[in-house]
């Protein structure tokens, strides 16, 4: 009997058992809402991308899982941007100036009033969220982020009908809206963190 081979096999077996044990003990959860369809939603030339996100591949014992809140944002993208690449060479001041100009361009077209989340099944009242007026980051020359803070969505809620309400300047001012049907995406899985992929943001 070749004891070197036996020893090597025992080491491999032990390592495999340790790895299997770690995989079995590491439980991860993902929770967010996603669009029910891929239809493009716009206000004028601006594309809207909602994001109602709690966490992705977090350990079940982690603080974000325990908190259970969703961060609510909508990215607003210009589909008719005409900024030339060379304009970015002038540094951060130029970037900020272009981003400010884009924000002004958007607010000249409409002002965001609120975002209403209608929960389904409809036993709970709608959640009414208001935009932050001082923080549109991340933002650049052709997109900005509408931020609505954090909210708690009940675990029984399978779908959301998110409605963004805006006012177009007068005279007289007029109301407009955009609707996003969304569904809950929630999974629980096991595995080692080093072998898992993390995708955050847009």
The domain locations on the chain are 28-195
Radius of gyration of the chain (CA): 23
Q: What is the pTM of this model?
A: 0.80
Please check the confidence at residue 138 and state whether its pLDDT lies above 80. yes
Using CA atoms, how far apart are residues 102 and 104, in angstroms rounded to an integer?
5
Residue carrying structure tokens 């993902």: 30
pLDDT tens-digit profile of 19-50? 444 445 578 889 999 999 989 999 999 999 99
Query: Which range (16-20, 163-167, 197-201) has the least confidence?
Result: 16-20
Query: Tokens representing 25?
Result: 């003990």
Helices (H), the chain: 3-25, 63-67, 92-109
Residue entry with tokens 């001041």: 93
Please give the share of the chain, as a percent, with pLDDT higher than 90. 56
- Measured between alpha carbons, how far is 50 from 74 in angstroms, rounded to an integer? 4
């001012």: which residue's tokens?
Answer: 173
């Amino acid at each position: 009997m070749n004891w070197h081979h036996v020893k090597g096999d025992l080491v491999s077996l032990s390592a495999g058992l340790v790895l299997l044990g770690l995989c079995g003990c590491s439980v991860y959860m993902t929770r967010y809402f996603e669009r029910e369809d891929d239809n493009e939603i716009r206000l004028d030339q601006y594309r809207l991308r909602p994001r109602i996100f709690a966490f992705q591949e977090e350990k079940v014992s982690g603080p974000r899982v325990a908190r259970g809140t969703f961060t609510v944002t909508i990215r607003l993208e210009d589909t008719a941007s005409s900024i030339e690449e060379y304009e970015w060479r002038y540094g951060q001041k130029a970037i900020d100036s272009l981003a400010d100009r884009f924000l002004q361009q958007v607010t000249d077209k409409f002002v965001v009033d609120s975002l209403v989340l209608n929960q389904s099944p409809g036993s709970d009242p709608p959640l009414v969220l208001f935009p932050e007026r001082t923080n549109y980051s991340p933002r650049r020359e052709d997109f900005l982020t509408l931020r609505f803070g954090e909210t708690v969505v009940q675990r029984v809620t399978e779908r959301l009908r998110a409605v963004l309400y805006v006012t177009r300047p007068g005279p007289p001012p007029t109301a407009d809206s955009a609707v996003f049907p969304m569904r809950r995406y929630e999974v629980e899985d096991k595995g080692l963190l080093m072998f898992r992929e993390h995708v955050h943001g847009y």
